[in-house]
A and B are shown apart, each in its own frame.
Chain A
């Protein structure tokens, strides 16, 4: 009998770690280093004028952020914008998926058209919605003129700017949601709908008992994804409203930009960015706690 050499072989764990090593090194460089540097900055006051200087200030930046009224206002704006964006993106995405799942002529063309908004850059989306929503060039004014009203209808104002931003954001994200849900819908066996028809279920009952259950986990995952994407959104907001009018749409990302790059208060901006990180993590944990756990335990 021939003796086998155990030391020459890698275990499964070792082999998988070896394969993952380049990715881990890459992540360390592109994630861990900037994150660590940002953490270091958040404990310092950084001055560029009269010579670069970084002074350790402990938790002062974090305390200042928490007591800053502008931060509190931006926090509320971010939550409002995120809730509206996510709700719109999920509802529109679900409706699109249901429509696309039906047999139709030129289905391929329609699916291509539906995915297009997701392909548009956030900068481009911002420019487009800016034109659509402002009174000078907007759709509201065009409609008003069509009905003989000679007045500008401007939606980029204090009362509506968040809704305009949420609609634009949902327009960009909903196609992605729709396509993942559509993939899910395609896995539902046709016979379940036949059985539902035999049971004489109404459309609402069919949706609730046949269509929705297999979609619930995907809905949960995309609720988390769209929440994170909305909370960290910056370029679209910057282009469309620039945080205004005034501070009406100054989300946390906009506030971080202003503190860090306009006022060059990098320590304070870094501390604020960790608050945003906490908000994102807190929101996703909350979603998991309230919803995800149930979905994960469902067979």
Chain B
């Protein structure tokens, strides 16, 4: 046997041993139930994944969805030490749960180095809080990417060359459209969900080059000068609201109403979830199928980095039970017993949900999936470039008060629009709220 064949044989043996070890290590052993909870999104697929784990790895995973005010409900469950082992969370919730001492960071997993090595650095940074990676990848996306209904856009006499390059240009074009006879060309991201209007403000300020709070100290950074990002954002919001360029009803929409409204084809532009390009290009779901595209990156970002992770709780359990929780998290949130990112790949194929893992995103299957989900092949590099330039609001999300600020901001901004509020006073109130929250948590 020569050196090469010995090396190959050795590597093969190592791989087999490694695989065998991993296969053994992902099998449930304690006989205890692992309680897995998440929000409502394609629950049939989640249940199917869980069933597969239970069948193949002798698991006893109990999956259920939580309806209603998800962050608050999960927080109450965590405080109460309820039967909850693995859960969905956004990074803004994860940090708070960690500070509450209710979750066990992903750092506790034996293969954490391999997991980190497979993650994109910017995603790893977004999900790392106080030096610890909190959870494993559920999905990564850009929320607030500017979708364009090409059908209506072209009917109004515009082409790709006219695509607005930033928010200022977009608002100008909305008024041009109104002059051409389209009364409401824009569906803003002002929906009633907890991630609605508040996130719309967050991403528009960031897209315009601003920061709401400092990423490290969390000190408020908004300014009240008329050229500042926050001022211009609120000024434009007020203008389009008062001039009736947006539907008033958007303030009451939930996620599905919001998607349905844009899928109806009534609007030209709308900041939507990146992966919903797939939804809007599906004929059984949308009246703009084959015409749903997005604004490219032309020096200004669009939207913000929206992501979710699978967290493990730190509730009192027997050690063997905790090991089962880790095994299931590993199987579900990273690689299965065959060293495949099974769930991550499935989400990519089913819904074009992006993953935090390079092994999912850089696969041929992912490229093919994106191609089939988009209206035009040339949109693929556009999607990737927009995604690559998406900002993450670390100053207001990687902090214990993230959810409190978010719910306060939602009310404040909706009232600002409806009460025709003062721009400077609103910005000052936002800064003051952040200062108060920092004081409340001794930051």
For A238-262 the 0/1 string (1 means CB < 8 A from B) is 1001111111101000000010011
Contact indicator A152/B75 (Cβ below 8 Å): no
**A244 CA to B96 CA, complexed, in Å:** 25
* Contact partners of B441 in chain A: CB under 8 A: 49-50
CA A26 to CA B75, docked complex, whole Å: 29
- Helix, strand, loop or mixed for chain B's interface? helix
Q: How far is the CB of A136 from chain B (nearest CB, A)?
A: 6
Q: Taking the complex as formed, is B40 at the interface, i.e. its CB lies under 8 A from any CB of chain A?
A: no
Rounded to whole Å, the gap between the CB of A205 and the closest CB of chain B is 47
The residues in A between 126 and 157 inclusive whose CB is less than 8 angstroms from any CB of B are: 134-136, 152, 154, 156-157
Q: Which of A205-242 contact B (CB under 8 A)?
A: 238, 241-242
Question: Judging by beta carbons under 8 Å apart, are A136 and B257 in contact?
Answer: yes
Residues in B with CB closer than 8 Å to A48 are 79, 100
Residues of B within 8 A of A248 (CB): 418
Interface centre among B71, B249, B441 (most CB of A within 10 A): B249
Chain B CB within 8 A of A68 CB: no
For residue A253, give the distance in angstroms from its CB to the closest CB of chain B.
Answer: 14
Return chain B residues, CB-CB under 8 Å to A158: 418
**A48 nearest CB neighbor, chain B only:** B100
Choose among B76, B79, B100, B415 the residue that contacts A247 (Cβ–Cβ < 8 A): B415
Chain B proximity of A245: nearest CB distance (Å): 4
Q: Is the CB of B407 within 8 A of A258?
A: yes
Structural contact, B400 and A262, CB atoms closer than 8 A: no
Number of interface residues of A (CB under 8 A): 27
| Complex: chain A residue closest to B98, CB-CB | A49
The verdict on A264 contacting chain B, using a C-beta distance below 8 Å, is yes
Shortest C-beta distance, A37 to chain B (Å), equals 14
Task: Give the CA-CA distance A264 to B407 in the complex, in Å.
Answer: 12
Bound: A48/B76 CA distance, A: 11
| 8 A Cβ contacts from B388-443 to A | 400, 403-404, 407, 411, 414-415, 417-419, 441-442
**Contacting residue for A246 out of B400, B414, B442, CB 8 A:** B414
B75 touches A264 (CB 8 A): yes
Contact A263 B404, CB 8 Å, known A134-B257, A157-B248, A244-B192: yes
Minimum CB–CB distance for B81 against chain A, Å: 12
What is the minimal beta-carbon distance from B197 to any residue of chain A, in angstroms? 9
A262 and B407 form a contact (CB under 8 A):
yes
Interface flags for B45-82 (1: CB within 8 Å of A; 0: not) read 00000000000000000000000110110011001000
Q: Once the chains are docked, how many angstroms separate the CA of A135 from the CA of B249?
A: 7
* Chain A residue nearest in CB terms to B258: A136
Task: Name the one of A152, A262, A263, A264 contacting B249, with C-beta atoms under 8 angstroms.
Answer: A152
Is B261 within 8 A of A136, CB to CB?
Answer: yes
Separation of A64 and B418 alpha carbons in the complex (Å): 26
B253 part of interface (Cβ distance < 8 Å): yes
B243 within 8 A of A: no
Verify A244–B69 contact, CB threshold 8 A: no
Return B416 CB to nearest CB of chain A, in Å: 8
Residues B249 and A156 in contact, CB atoms below 8 Å apart:
yes
Q: Does B99 reach chain A (CB closer than 8 Å)?
A: yes
CB distance from B102 to the nearest CB of A (A): 9
Kindly provide the distance from the CB of A173 to the nearest chain B CB, expressed in whole angstroms: 23
Q: How far is the CB of B359 from chain A (nearest CB, A)?
A: 36
Q: State whether the Cβ of B265 lies closer than 8 Å to any Cβ in chain A.
A: no
> Do residues B251 and A246 form an inter-chain contact, with CB atoms below 8 A?
yes
Question: Could you tell me if B75 and A242 are in contact, using CB atoms closer than 8 angstroms?
Answer: no
Which residue of A241, A244, A247 has the most chain B CB atoms within 10 A of its CB atom? Answer: A244
A134 to B407, CA, bound (A): 22
CB distance from B173 to the nearest CB of A (A): 23
Give chain A nearest CB distance to B116 CB in angstroms. Answer: 27
Q: Chain A residues near B75 (CB, 8 Å)?
A: 261, 264
Q: A48-B100, A264-B75 are known contacts. Are A245 and B404 too (CB-CB below 8 A)?
A: no
Q: How far is the CA of A245 from the CA of B411 in the complex (A)?
A: 8
- Residues in B neighbouring A241, C-beta threshold 8 A: 252
Partner of B100, one of A49, A238, A263: A49
Q: Is the CB of A244 within 8 A of B414?
A: yes
Complex CA distance for A247 and B260, rounded to whole angstroms: 25
B215 within 8 A of A: no
Partner of B72, one of A51, A245, A247, A261: A261
Q: CA A245 – CA B79 in complex, angstroms?
A: 29
With both chains docked as a complex, state the minimum distance between the C-beta of B40 and any C-beta of chain A, in angstroms: 14
Task: Establish whether residues A262 and B192, one from each chain, have CB atoms under 8 Å apart when the complex forms.
Answer: no
Q: Return the chain A residue nearest B193 by Cβ.
A: A242
A49, A244, A261, A262: the one within 8 Å of B251 (CB): A244
Within 8 A of A (CB), among B226-279: 247-249, 251-253, 257, 260-261
Complex CA gap A113/B253 in Å reads 32
B418 contact from A152, A154, A246, Cβ within 8 A: A246
Contacts of B247 in A (CB 8 A): 135, 152
Residues B407 and A263 in contact, CB atoms below 8 Å apart = yes
Picked from B71, B251, B260, B442, the residue with its CB within 8 Å of the CB of A136 is B260
Using Cβ atoms and an 8 Å threshold, which residues of chain B touch A243? 411
Kindly list chain A residues whose C-beta atoms are within 8 Å of the C-beta of B253: 136
Closest residue of B by beta carbon distance from A50: B99
Kindly supply a per-residue 1/0 record for chain A positions 248-290, scoring 1 wherever the CB is within 8 Å of any chain B CB and 0 otherwise.
Answer: 1010000000100111100000000000000000000000000
B249 close to A261 (CB less than 8 A): no
Contact A156 B100, beta carbon cutoff 8 Å: no
Residues of B within 8 A of A246 (CB): 251, 411, 414-415, 417-419
| Known contacts A158-B418, A247-B415, A262-B407; A136 and B249 CB within 8 A of each other | yes
Question: In the complex, are the beta carbons of B251 and A245 less than 8 A apart?
Answer: yes
Binary interface encoding of chain B residues 280-310 relative to chain A, with 1 for a CB under 8 A from any of its CBs, else 0: 0000000000000000000000000000000
A-chain residues with CB within 8 Å of residue B249 when the two chains form the complex: 134-136, 152, 154, 156-157
Indicate if the CB atoms of B407 and A156 lie closer than 8 Å.
no
Nearest A residue to B415 by beta-carbon distance?
Answer: A246
Binding site for B on A (CB under 8 A): 48-51, 134-136, 152, 154, 156-158, 238, 241-248, 250, 258, 261-264
A-B CB proximity, top 5 nearest: A246-B414, A246-B415, A245-B251, A154-B249, A135-B249
| CB-defined A-B contacts under 8 Å, sample of 20 | A48-B100, A49-B100, A134-B257, A136-B249, A136-B253, A152-B249, A154-B248, A154-B249, A154-B252, A157-B248, A157-B249, A238-B69, A244-B192, A244-B411, A245-B192, A245-B252, A246-B417, A262-B69, A262-B72, A264-B75
Task: For the A-B complex with A49-B96, A156-B249 known, give 16 more contacts whose Cβ atoms are closer than 8 Å.
Answer: A49-B441, A50-B442, A134-B252, A136-B260, A152-B249, A154-B248, A154-B249, A238-B69, A244-B252, A245-B192, A246-B411, A246-B417, A246-B418, A247-B414, A262-B72, A263-B407
